[in-house]
Chains A and B, each alone.
Chain A
Amino acid sequence: GENVEQHPSTLSVQEGDSAVIKCTYSDSASNYFPWYKQELGKRPQLIIDIRSNVGEKKDQRIAVTLNKTAKHFSLHITETQPEDSAVYFCAASIPDYGGSQGNLIFGKGTKLSVKP
């Protein structure tokens, strides 16, 4: 079945620097890749997603890139701010082979700390 690996597990950057979080997936038929941000004690919130027909997507300081050949996708945060500090989760959809209807498999998360 689908497996998602996420690296690094922790990341510390200085305010204003960029942060990159990488995920790999195992099933080449996966075609939807969302990213969630979870602040301490709060719910996971979708921050950006990408579908397999697109190689890159941007939303202000956040971008996601997808390399289908290598089966990996990355989250890029530029000009980091202290409020970006949170745990970030990547996910990949389970291909719809008629049973699991596109459920998500999540990575184990990256704790990002942005130091002022």
Chain B
Amino acid sequence: NAGVTQTPKFQVLKTGQSMTLQCAQDMNHNSMYWYRQDPGMGLRLIYYSASEGTTDKGEVPNGYNVSRLNKREFSLRLESAAPSQTSVYFCASSYTGINQPQHFGDGTRLSIL
């Protein structure tokens, strides 16, 4: 079992470019999440998907969009990257969203110049 797999691991973009971060889980989990981690800020929720076919905004959704492609895959898109979006992005999944541990991927380190 790979758990939660994120691609790419590293990416450098120029301001205004777009890109999609990919996430897939093989644990048959229903809920999936995208977080960003900045120094001293902990983990902040960008978007989540409680189940296949649903997505909702988290704490910091501006500048991002998501797609729950199927039960396994949940992608995060930056339409027009800005330097403020330089961060480490983590995808996570849980069996359900209620009082269940979340399992994290290895992260994508994104730099926007």
The residues of A with any CB-CB pair to B shorter than 8 Å are 6, 9, 31-32, 34, 36, 42-46, 49, 51, 89, 93, 96, 99-104, 106-109
Q: Which residues of B contact A34 (CB under 8 A)?
A: 101-102
Distance in Å from the Cβ of B105 to the closest Cβ of chain A?
6
Contact mask for chain B residues 49-64; partner A; CB cutoff 8 A; 1 contact, 0 none: 0100000101000000
Q: Does B71 make an interface contact (CB < 8 A)?
A: no
Q: Which of A93, A96, A103, A107 contacts B42 (CB 8 A)?
A: A107
- Asked whether, in the complex, the Cβ of A89 is within 8 Å of the Cβ of B43, the reply is yes
The residues of B with any CB-CB pair to A shorter than 8 Å are 31, 33, 40-45, 48, 50, 56, 58, 90, 96-107
Q: Please report the C-alpha to C-alpha distance between residue A106 and residue B60 in the assembled complex, in whole angstroms.
A: 14
- Asked whether, in the complex, the Cβ of B90 is within 8 Å of the Cβ of A44, the reply is yes
- Asked whether, in the complex, the Cβ of A106 is within 8 Å of the Cβ of B42, the reply is yes
Q: Which of A36, A49, A89, A102 contacts B97 (CB 8 A)?
A: A102
- Asked whether, in the complex, the Cβ of A45 is within 8 Å of the Cβ of B43, the reply is no
Q: Which of B40, B42, B58, B99 contacts A89 (CB 8 A)?
A: B42
Given contacts A45-B104, A107-B42, contact A101 B99 (CB under 8 A): no
